Amino acid sequence: MLTRFRVEGEGERSSMAENDDLGIERTASIQNPTKPSSSIGARVRATHDDDEDEVRVSLRPVLPHSSSDLIHQEAARALSVMDSFHQPWLTGVELLDDANRNKHVLPTGLEGIDVLLGGGLREGQLIEIAGPSSSGKTQVCLHSASCIADKGSVMFLDTCNSFSPNRIACMVNQFSGPLFKEAKERRLERIMSSILCQPIYDIFELLDTLHQLESTLKHTVKTGGYKICLLIIDSISSLIAPILGGKSPQGRLLMVSAGIVLKKLAHEFNLAVLVTNHMVGGEGGIIKPALGESWKNIPHVRLVVSRDQQSNVFTATVLKHTMRASGRTAKFVIHN
């Protein structure tokens, strides 16, 4: 069992502590006793010995996220990740066999989305949902989490306080139909306990979390532990956009590294990865997904969603798909 903490200075975000069965560290911002107005960063890792009923906590100092040293460090690690992730040459037969073997489709519960995707989110793939503000991106994520968590574990990395347990509870109750109250409560508890939510505040914390998740998944494969079916990041663009721009290529390098790690997790551990992206203005005033040319080739699948504010009907359009034609559209409704 791993106990994780986030402790911040007076006047900052409220303190937080929680148990995490995945064994993932978090950053703690701990007030410096010698300088009350300042804080120092540390990685907090606690391990628990059931036999001795003892908790051991270790602190590993980290540099502030604004430090150029940290950027150089993460850029170096990004290059290492990119160098290590070289898939072998495969024949067409081997690629077809890999596509058909253990690559299940996870229905989102949204008929229009599932039709466009050929049944739902495919394990082994990185899927991007892009759209302007209030277009339904987060609702697609929450709906997917509530539907898929009924069959397996879901990890939700929340970058902009978008995770809403009340919204998921409403969706689950709609799925449950005419069940008795006790049966509905048991189903809701089972689904909610299968969704692991963690706030992420910047690209450095995201990369740390993904590397720790990789280690944890390797361990669960060896021990036969529970399987994560879906990893959600809502939104990935809010973490990447601040590090892009300027003459330095390091921000782009970190972005590509994050994309490669996500695809590596999806491929090696047979899970679906769902990320959201915002829209920016393009040529002629036409909006397009953010993060530029370097990012657009990373996801296996890219959908753009929009919403008719009057009818509350959503439209999804395929921008890119490994097995479907681009430009296809479908409408769907998310009931409040």
For position 204, which CATH number holds?
A: 3.40.50.300
Residue 175 lies in a domain: yes
Residue 34 lies in a domain: no
Tokens 């479907």, located at residue: 324
- The confidence band for 185, taking pLDDT boundaries of 50, 70 and 90, is confident
Q: How large is the average pLDDT for residues 1-20?
A: 37
Q: Mind listing the pLDDT tens digit for each residue in 217-237?
A: 998 887 877 789 999 999 999
> How many C-beta neighbours within 10 Å does residue 76 have?
12
Q: Mind listing the pLDDT tens digit for each residue in 286-326?
A: 899 999 998 999 999 999 999 998 888 999 999 999 888 88
* Average of per-residue pLDDT values in the chain: 77
More confident residue, 118 or 59: 118
Residue 18 lies in a domain: no
Residue 248 lies in a domain: yes
Name the token pair of 267: 């491929």
pLDDT of residue 83: 58
pLDDT of residue 129: 97
pLDDT of residue 62: 41
- The confidence band for 258, taking pLDDT boundaries of 50, 70 and 90, is very high
261: pLDDT strictly greater than 70: yes
Q: What is the pTM of this model?
A: 0.74
Residue 167 lies in a domain: yes
Using an 8 Å Cβ cutoff, are 3 and 55 in contact? yes
Helix 250-269 and helix 203-223, axial crossing angle in degrees, nearest 10: 20
Domains of the chain: total: 1
Query: Can you name the residues that pair with 232 across neighbouring β-strands?
Result: 156, 274
pLDDT of residue 336: 61
Query: Can you name the residues that pair with 46 across neighbouring β-strands?
Result: 57
Residue 247 lies in a domain: yes
pLDDT of residue 184: 82
- Cα separation, 196 vs 109, in Å, equals 19
pLDDT of residue 269: 92
Residue 22 lies in a domain: no
3: pLDDT strictly greater than 70: no
- The confidence band for 121, taking pLDDT boundaries of 50, 70 and 90, is very high
Q: How large is the average pLDDT for residues 320-336?
A: 85
Tokens 């959908």, located at residue: 303
Please report, rounded to a whole number, the percentage of residues in the chain having pLDDT higher than 90.
47
More confident residue, 148 or 71: 148
CA distances from 161 to 27, 79, 138, 244, 273 (A): 17, 31, 10, 22, 19
> How many C-beta neighbours within 10 Å does residue 211 have?
15
Residue 44 lies in a domain: no
pLDDT of residue 311: 86
Helix 68-84 and helix 250-269, axial crossing angle in degrees, nearest 10: 40
Q: What is the DSSP string of 34-74?
A: T-TT-EEEEEEEEEEETTTTEEEEEEEE---TT-HHHHHHH
Q: What is the DSSP string of 245-265?
A: -SS-SHHHHHHHHHHHHHHHH
26: pLDDT strictly greater than 50: no
More confident residue, 334 or 164: 164
Domain span holding position 155: 105-333
| SS3 of residue 244 by DSSP | coil
Residues 6+ apart with CB under 8 A from 140: 108, 110, 113, 129, 305, 334
CA 45 to chain centre: 22
- The confidence band for 33, taking pLDDT boundaries of 50, 70 and 90, is very low
pLDDT of residue 11: 37
Provide the edge-to-edge strand list for the sheet that holds 54-61: 26-31, 39-49, 54-61
